[in-house]
Structure 1
Amino acid sequence: MDPVTERFMPERFDRAGVSRPVHRVDEEASLGHLALVLAHRLRGLVAGIEGYTDLLIDSLPTREQRDLAFRILESTVRIERILADLQRYSEPVEPVFSRVGLRDVLENLLAAVDEADLERIRFEVPPHGHLFFMADPVLLRQALLVLLQNALDATRSGGDVRFRVIPDPPNEVIRFEVHNDGRIDEEEAESKVFMPFFTTKAHNLGVGLCIGRRIAEAHGGRLELAANGAESGICFVLTLPLAGPGTEGNRSGLRPGSA
């Protein structure tokens, strides 16, 4: 792209044909490279800590000392989870599209959620599950899991999470709404929730929603914070075109059929 075009058309297109602002593309690419380097370097250090701690445990004379060593191992497990998030953030989002069934999407999603968490989620889905649209089923599940986990973490004790699926053939989209009774309280949090590494939780790296938005945009869709209030609670909405990005009309066949 020549300098004049880049100045007056400050967008780039990803491999799915979805336009994204240049500054966001460059910033995410730089952060992604940094995340990849950090994950690679730190993973080796963590492996060394784990190995030496294992050797140390066998030589410790008292139970109290061994318990302290086990706490070191527990901490390395948490570090490895953070490194896994860094790795996911550094990877490019490149969907492999196929005609997916809503029933299969939901079954795969349910299989990935812990049983204890399932009891806290109310699912509201169309009565006919034989609906089809174009998506990458693996990436779609990842994005939906991010929204569910985010909602579960934000929900007050005893509160429920509501997961709604709303097919909208007239507008050629399908919407996934995830609602909880929490609220984003931090100042300017609404404008920051999709920024990489922004989080209000000590155990969270803050890349999940950013990855979810990238997945949505790679599908030609969007991920939005639709509600955030004391009475309304928090609601994120993932909207995807039925026919996939860069297509005209509803070619996905979102209609009743056999699985």
Structure 2
Amino acid sequence: MSITRLELQNYLNGLLRVNEINDYCPNGLQVEGTNKIKKIVTGVTASQALVDAAIDAKADALIVHHGYFWKGESQVISGMKKRRLSALLANDINLYAYHLPLDVHPEFGNNRQLASLLDIQNISAVSSVKPVGVVMQGSFEEEIEGAALQAKLQELLGREVLIEGPVSKSISSVAWCTGGGQGFIEQAVELGVDAFITGEVSEQTVHTAREMGITFFAAGHHATERYGVKSLGEHIAQHFDVPVEFIDINNPA
């Protein structure tokens, strides 16, 4: 079974509402490869290691959350960027990338998938980047102490999780933003939630958590964003009846 490059592009762009979302990079097809797609690899970031893994897997398409051509970066194709693009082009592999559309999707989004992993209830989106809600809020069925939630996150994500602010406080309500969402901590405080979970931490985030009394968790940019593209790939495999393989390139950040 196979699909065409355009079929996959049109389906994903519609499913993820690409035309409705302003982003820092192009969403959709970023590098054109072969027209007929018989095997797809998914992963978080289109690093050289993931590109090489897709080549080894004999993939015709690579779907990622973090692709190329970000605003503000050099437009020169040299060094690392040249090597990555050369490998894709030489092996005729299509690269599809979905950044914010994959963060916020109500079913396959990183935020929604993290909520499912943690069994968060009563979920609603909070508009942080118009017109989409990048931050989400919800609640746990039963209160959980901060240190216990840290342990749960570490077990589920398989990595060390930083906790700051009131560590022993019982947590019922929570806000979260996968990836580099530490800048939204004050917005989480304004929501009145007990805790805020994201991927990264900045120096000032620690002081904000301590001084504003919110329990803060930095659970890893990569670790919190594995599940959106993985679930999207599983959906594609079922919808189009093509083989899809999720490949996780370890990243401690």
**How would you bin the TM-score normalised by the shorter chain?**
under 0.3
Higher helix share: 1
TM-score if structure 2 supplies the norm length? 0.22
Bigger Rg over Cα? 1
